[in-house]
Amino acid sequence: MRHLGARLLRVEPGLVEIALPYSDKVSQQQDGFHGGAMGALADIAGGYAGLTVAAEGMEVTTAEYKINFLAGFAAGELRATGRVIKGGRRLIVTSAEVVHVAADGTQNACAVMQQTLVPVPKTY
């Protein structure tokens, strides 16, 4: 995500917020944010939120997610806020909201996601 210019905005137990600025690296043929960029941002925000509640020495991997795209936007930036819904030893369930933030600060919902994470031992 560094290559795409993403920034970590907030980290709290069970919550992570990430921003992704608009660029040609994350746009599609109609010049809007690509759905893949929205999905990746939501997946990462939810995953890092889940990581904040995972046991010591564990990582998380996404087992599945479902995303609803609500609207498309160009310019400005996307912000994804991931939240832990249920933290557990075997599964962690999260959600993420993705909003578009325009240059004037106006925010509009563009996607919502629900995700299941599996804690796995760190291998390094």
Rounded to two decimals, what is the model's pTM?
A: 0.95
Domain edges within the chain: 2-121
Residue-level pLDDT at 1: 82
Q: What is the pLDDT along the chain (124 residues), one digit of tens a residue?
A: 888 899 999 999 999 999 999 999 999 999 999 999 999 999 999 999 999 999 999 999 999 999 999 999 999 999 999 999 999 999 999 999 999 999 999 999 999 999 999 999 998 7
Radius of gyration of the chain (CA): 14
pLDDT at 40: 96
**Quick one: 2-121 is in which CATH superfamily?**
Hotdog Thioesterase (3.10.129.10)
pLDDT at 6: 95
Show the 3-state SS of the chain.
CHHHCCEEEEEECCEEEEEEECCCCCECCCCCECHHHHHHHHHHHHHHHHHCCCCCCEEEEEEEEEEEECCCCCCCEEEEEEEEEECCCCCEEEEEEEEEECCCCCEEEEEEEEEEEEEEECCC
